[in-house]
Structure 1
């Protein structure tokens, strides 16, 4: 496959992953699909994990991948970006995408390891699984430790896992685009009307 067409495919593939990352991160602000916890967190109460507030899905897996995806996609077209210079720029943009995917993926892994913030039976809001051994992920019988928000453990595991998968795919695609862009910069984009 020609480097220009490959860039176009990579760019198109990055769009839904960036959108998925943004949507998952936004949903994480509303456990139990309630706005109460986000409002209380905004007031300084400990209701959401720091990984949610750092917005790895919106900033890292979302914006820092979406902007490169637009340029990478445009390098696959004939015209202003479908040339050696455009392919070189796609390498730089893809590197930004790699950084964004790493940011999102790292926060997702940390959130999965430490677990959610939830209310215990005694009324305290803490991260009860933060130092648990073995990991709480495989011990579903202890998830009932969290009394509020309802099903918070499953909610966090599902959304942070989706963020992690999206980040891994974004990392692979952007990493491949770095190689594709370097090859396209050296050899050209295979377009008939290539501009030097």
Structure 2
């Protein structure tokens, strides 16, 4: 197996992005104003399986990765590290980060958490070392069914959100703010981190 160009730099960016992603998740949890769909599921599931939030993130990631098998998706090193790093860092950050008091600090923490989440997502995606297990599930379904990304992504997100809410996960204003803003943040962050941005520059121009 040949390594991609600039592999050490890609790996460092991947790990940095995954680490910041875990921190951003802890920020949104501490804000207590609503979580993104997958974290609603993780939060609702954690007490029922007796694991911490972060370990639940890792376990769900592993289960989702197993769903790749019938979809014939290929994991990369980024996929494996995604499962290991994000949830672990989230638990560490939750242990160090106090919950703010008052709506002002909570909204500020939520806003910074969403922005950091989008930037971190752009960083680990831009490293090009393999998608996260949840992203790979979406692309695998698209490839196997021929359905457009927007439909598959919406169905998965709504299903995950509904299950998480029924299990007791936090749904609120933060959930809505995340849904309407995260795509915009990732869209603008990704060009700064994509290692092939020079190749895409003429197309973009």
TM-score (norm 1): 0.33
**Bigger CA radius of gyration:** 1
TM-score (norm 2): 0.32
